[in-house]
Structure 1
Amino acid sequence: MLGKPTQMSPIRAADPNNFRRIDWDQFAPAIEAVAGPAALTPVNLAQTQVIGGGHTVRQVSVRIGQPAFRAELVRKYGSICAFSGPAPSEALEACHLYSYAEIGRHDIDGGLLLRRDLHRLFDQGLIAVTQDGTIDVADSLQPYDLYFAVDGKQQQISASPRPREWLALHWNEWR
């Protein structure tokens, strides 16, 4: 709880970087006169919600070759998000069109570059691609102009038959 601050040691008044002693009996009424009586309400830290933090050690599976897979996609397509168009390379992620967890290998024909946000929405089925390459955005994203702007547009890259097959499987799974 806030209490009366302790007095500081004497300071050199000429130094503008020094703190000056505060007369709490004058300070508190002056603040309350301007900001209201609740301006200096004490904070009880015991009542605040604390969100746990820190670290833990876990055993995880790491995708070997993911950086090389991404680099090959950048070489193949350039710095182009398959859904939204040119983007900084740093904003693009390598998206698998198939379940890497099930297959366990990187197939360049089975990947696209997507912005991180679009990649996440694609993985959750909120964005899908029709057989003719038209981007379909779920109705639940209609309030978000940033995402709904790509609805009904063609992919920004031309997909060969194999990626179109995987996109069709994705479509069938989510739509």
Structure 2
Amino acid sequence: MENDSYIETCAICFLSIERAKKLVPPEFIEGWNWFQQRAGTTMRVLPHRDPTLNDAPISLTRDAGIHSPDYKKLRSRGADKNKYVLSIHAGGSRYNNKDLIYLEDGTWILDYCSQKPERGRKATTDFNSVMMNNLRDGIPIAVMIKQSSGGYMVCGLGFIEEYNAATESFIIHGPVNPSTEAAGFFSIVEAEHLSDSEIQILKEWDAEDERVQVKVNQIRRQGQERFRKALRDAYEDTCVISSVAIPEVLQAAHIYSYRGPKTQIVNNGLLLRSDLHLLFDAHLFTIHPENHKVVLSDQLKASDYKTYNGIQIADPCDRRLSPSDELLNIHYQQFLVESR
């Protein structure tokens, strides 16, 4: 995805538990182990509400969705580490959080709404800012989902890969475990595009290291250029909605942005005029997954964009490169949530 000001993505190329362990208080590592050992199970209540759980090494959850433990109560007193979120749970009535969305590669993603203070009350802690620390530093969080049948499913750990200010939501991608890490699901690029020395530089990420910054910027630029070229070729330099054929104003839009080998593929992209790319990312319009027709929000229906409502997007020159209906459905469902 192009570097839009309303979208912040994690800049770390290779996210991993081992790297994150160096940045958090030691009690976080014990907490991560606790959640990973119980991944896939359902708990009757949230951990902090279960009186039988007296073996927890750290406070694991709280009633509100985002939980960042009080460092003053930790044995290490926080070990002079940055403030991070340990866990979140989704499914409360105040937010439009959805269930996990399972991808073809076996991983899942979750659109998690940012915290909004209750009416008439001021939040004592800005948990959204703490969540941003997790995003920027590559620190995983534990995820629990409230079940309609009762209880909470423990989903394991996930990395926060993106924050979208337009939709006020975080994208969390998991589960984080040795097998998913080894498969490269939490890296920006596929390892075969890099030399061993380049991989080592990126795994030793240091935001203050100029050589890392140069390499990260180079990799992102090259990856986006490959993605854009593939889409330009597939759609013959023509916007799939407006039919504008001016390469300088065409951008490569991800239908859904997550890390891993399958994100930078034509089936996860649309070639859009720059303004339409902005509106698509903001979920002000979507593409219906069944008929590939444009669906506008009420806001756009009253604007000059109304002429695009109901238009069927152009097909690529090779039908095998058509947008993934599964990924279009993810965007479509989020559009419905944002349009409520």
Partner residue, 1:120: 278
* Residues in 1 aligned to 2:239 and 2:311: alpha-carbon distance in whole angstroms: 13
Offset of 1:148 from its aligned partner?
Answer: 1.2
* Residues in 2 aligned to 1:115 and 1:162: alpha-carbon distance in whole angstroms: 17
Where do 5+ consecutive residues of structure 2 fail to align?
1-207
Q: Counterpart of 1:87 in structure 2: which amino acid?
A: A
Of 291, 307, 310, 1:132 maps to: 291
Residue pairs, 1:4-15, within 5 angstroms: none
* Residues in 2 aligned to 1:163 and 1:90: alpha-carbon distance in whole angstroms: 26
**What TM-score, normalized to structure 2?**
0.32
Partner residue, 1:41: none
Structure with more of its chain in strand, by fraction: 2
Query: Does 2:328 match 1:170?
Result: no
Query: Does 2:300 match 1:141?
Result: yes
Partner residue, 1:29: none
Partner residue, 2:266: 108
Q: Counterpart of 2:293 in structure 1: which amino acid?
A: T
Partner residue, 1:6: none
Partner residue, 2:83: none
Identity %, equivalent residues? 34
Where do 5+ consecutive residues of structure 1 fail to align?
1-56
Structure with more of its chain in helix, by fraction: 1
For this pair of structures, how many residues does the alignment match? 117
* Residues in 2 aligned to 1:174 and 1:103: alpha-carbon distance in whole angstroms: 23
Query: Does 2:266 match 1:93?
Result: no
* Residues in 1 aligned to 2:331 and 2:314: alpha-carbon distance in whole angstroms: 18
Q: What SS does structure 1 have at the residue aligned with 2:295?
A: strand
Kept after mapping to 1: 8 A contact 2:266/2:323: no
* Residues in 2 aligned to 1:103 and 1:137: alpha-carbon distance in whole angstroms: 30
Q: What SS does structure 2 have at the residue aligned with 1:95?
A: strand
Kept after mapping to 2: 8 A contact 1:79/1:88: yes
Partner residue, 1:67: 225
The alignment's C-alpha RMSD in Å is 2.5
* Residues in 2 aligned to 1:88 and 1:113: alpha-carbon distance in whole angstroms: 11
Offset of 1:89 from its aligned partner?
Answer: 0.9
Offset of 1:118 from its aligned partner?
Answer: 0.3
- Please say which structure displays the higher CA radius of gyration: 1
Q: What SS does structure 2 have at the residue aligned with 1:65?
A: helix
Kept after mapping to 2: 8 A contact 1:84/1:156: no
Query: Does 2:308 match 1:150?
Result: yes
* Residues in 1 aligned to 2:276 and 2:323: alpha-carbon distance in whole angstroms: 21
Kept after mapping to 1: 8 A contact 2:251/2:274: yes
Offset of 1:162 from its aligned partner?
Answer: 5.3
* Residues in 2 aligned to 1:150 and 1:72: alpha-carbon distance in whole angstroms: 25
- Cα 1:149/1:97, change in 2 over 3 Å: same
